[in-house]
Amino acid sequence: MEPVQAVRFRERSSAERVNSNLKDNYGGRFVRVRGAAKVMAHLMFGIIALTAKQLFNMFVTLAMPQVLSGLAHFPQLE
């Protein structure tokens, strides 16, 4: 696979993972409303929830070493 195709495939794979996660975990598969505006609102609430979860996971991942190093001052918590 050429380098340009590899980059495109990697980007496409990440977008497909997001779409799959939205459909499987955030109500994107079965939309029970009618009308373009209501469907868009339904899907955007799923996107907001997915984004909030990703931001929380990123914060926990970045803050965890600092939190764990702070536990050294409190031996009873370890």
Q: Show me where the domains of the chain are located.
A: 3-77
Whole-number pLDDT of residue 63: 73
Separation of alpha carbons 61 and 22, rounded Å: 22
Q: What distance in Å separates the CA atoms of residue 23 and residue 49, rounded to the nearest whole number?
A: 12
Positions of the chain with pLDDT under 50: none
Exposure on the CB side of residue 41, measured as CA atoms within 13 A: 7
pLDDT of residue 67: 64
pLDDT at site 6 = 85
According to the model, what pLDDT value does residue 46 have? Answer: 93
